[in-house]
Structure 1
Amino acid sequence: MNIEDADAGRTNQAVDDNRLREAERIAEALVFASAQPVSEGFIAERLPKGMDVRSIMLRLREDYASRGVNLVQVDDAWAFRTAADLSFVIRRDENEVKKLSRAALEVLAIIAYHQPVTRAEIEDIRGVQTSRGTLDVLMEAGWVRFRGRRRTPGRPVTLGTTRDFLDHFGLEEIRDLPGLEELKGAGLLSGRIPANFNMPSPLMSDELTEDEDPITQMDLEELGLLAPGGASED
């Protein structure tokens, strides 16, 4: 390799390094400016063409790993969050979600592990009826959503968790939910556990399953989420 080729190579490398640093700065700014987790797709649309978004975000996560604020992955999105060991210094008096009742916690756990699941299936697992108020609390918290409608008689609505659920409980994706041994170790499963007891594997995709149909505007009106004609009910 001659001197001219070597100089050209160094120049190109410097240009590539500058583009990468600029892309990292843009990605950092986009996540910092958002109160909600920012999807990789959103970031990719605003970066120079040809940039590997996942690689950039992983580099940034490593850079922030030892700081007071960490860059965390939430599903396919990214957000800045206070480092876990410093959470005690942050006051959350105004924004703290109301403590959930035992019934709400049970329903939330069932939805998280069994999604997509219908209200009737939740009641079958719990052995008692589930009030609409319990589901309303979970939806108002932003942790539970309507997924679709089951292709069975009556076309019951299916329920699943949201990205806000993952964010609040510090999960990158739904498969990070604790398993049977972890729950035992945390003292959340006590007493005699039936021999045939097992932890279901939650669905890891937001895509509808083969026995689910998408929710239409008519469905939303029927569920009371939209006023007739398509206007949202505030």
Structure 2
Amino acid sequence: MEEGFDRRAEQMRLVEAVLFASAEPVEEAALAARLGEGADLRGILDELQAHYSHRGVHLVAAAGRWAFRTAPDLAPLLQRETEVTSRLSRAAVETLSIIAYHQPVTRAEIESIRGVATSKGTLDILMEAGWIKPGRRRETPGRPLTWLTTPAFLDHFGLESLRDLPGVDDLRAAGLLDARPAITTLFSRGDDAALPRAVEDSAED
């Protein structure tokens, strides 16, 4: 019994060390490989989450990847005033929103929703930020490329999965949903989700 307890304690210490040492969120498969066959990885992660739930850092998951993050209530105390050297253009904000809610989506479909052409530079900016990536090509004439969001997108916005994206009611309550009927219709994904209105003032490229 004691030997089993010691083994689990060592496994927990190993997972904890790997997560602290990694600069990026770690996939569950990578953690499982470290522990070896038969290890109760999910139980260990749950126990670590509980252990750190009242500490200065929390263990959080995003798209099957795990990382330690600053406790939400301490974030304001750690913020520093910094000069913003670059902001997403209105085109980039709208494009990212459309990809997030309609993925996998082609460039032509993005343009159809926005009502204007999307420059390659806009997609490049979002790729450089690590928030979108190319998906599979559609089996349609021309075999257009589709676009998807990445785990880095979820991590940046504090989402565990795409199911955690805010819905229509959440966006409307926050004042982020454009009230124009045409925009609401185009930017909706069923009854429970919609795209936020772009808030940047920058013009298209």
In structure 2, C-alpha distance between the alignment counterparts of 1:135 and 1:61, rounded to whole Å: 36
How many residue pairs end up in the alignment? 188
How far residue 59 of structure 1 moved from its aligned partner, in angstroms, is 1.2
Moved more, 36-45 or 57-66: 57-66
1:187 corresponds to 2:166? no
Residues 50, 64 of structure 1: CA spacing in aligned structure 2 closer, same or farther, 3 A cutoff?
Answer: same
In structure 1, C-alpha distance between the alignment counterparts of 2:120 and 2:81, rounded to whole Å: 28
Per-residue Cα deviation, 1:20-39 (whole angstroms, up to 9, x for no partner): 11111111111111111100
SS in 1 for 2:125: helix
In structure 2, C-alpha distance between the alignment counterparts of 1:180 and 1:16, rounded to whole Å: 49
Per-residue Cα deviation, 1:6-58 (whole angstroms, up to 9, x for no partner): xxxxxx2x222211111111111111111111001000011143112112111
Residues 169, 160 of structure 1: CA spacing in aligned structure 2 closer, same or farther, 3 A cutoff?
Answer: same
Residues 140, 33 of structure 1: CA spacing in aligned structure 2 closer, same or farther, 3 A cutoff?
Answer: same
In structure 1, C-alpha distance between the alignment counterparts of 2:103 and 2:67, rounded to whole Å: 25
Which of the numbers 98, 103, 119 marks the counterpart of 1:115? 103
Instruction: Report the aligned-residue RMSD.
Output: 2.1
SS in 1 for 2:67: strand
1:105 corresponds to 2:93? yes
SS in 2 for 1:60: helix
How far residue 97 of structure 1 moved from its aligned partner, in angstroms, is 8.2
Give the corresponding residue for 1:209. Answer: none
% same residue? 55
Which of the numbers 160, 167, 189 marks the counterpart of 1:200? 189
CA contact (8 A) 1:97 1:141 kept: no
Which structure would you say has the larger RCO, counting Cα contacts within 8 Å and 6 or more residues apart? 2
Computing the radius of gyration over CA atoms, which structure comes out larger, 1 or 2? Answer: 1
Per-residue Cα deviation, 1:126-169 (whole angstroms, up to 9, x for no partner): 10000111111100000000011111101111000001000000
1:177 corresponds to 2:165? yes
How far residue 199 of structure 1 moved from its aligned partner, in angstroms, is 3.2
Which residues of structure 2 form unaligned runs of 5+? 191-205
Per-residue Cα deviation, 1:181-234 (whole angstroms, up to 9, x for no partner): 11111111143546x837327xxxxxxxxxxxxxxxxxxxxxxxxxxxxxxxxx
Give the corresponding residue for 1:129. Answer: 117
Give the corresponding residue for 1:213. Answer: none
Residues 55, 169 of structure 1: CA spacing in aligned structure 2 closer, same or farther, 3 A cutoff?
Answer: same
How far residue 102 of structure 1 moved from its aligned partner, in angstroms, is 1.3
Mapping 1:38-187, distance limit 5 Å: 38-88=26-76, 89-91=78-80, 93=82, 98-187=86-175
The one-letter amino acid of 1:124's match is S
The one-letter amino acid of 1:58's match is D
Q: TM-score, normalised by structure 2?
A: 0.85
Give the corresponding residue for 1:17. Answer: 5
SS in 1 for 2:87: coil
Which residues of structure 1 form unaligned runs of 5+? 1-11, 202-234
CA contact (8 A) 1:61 1:72 kept: yes
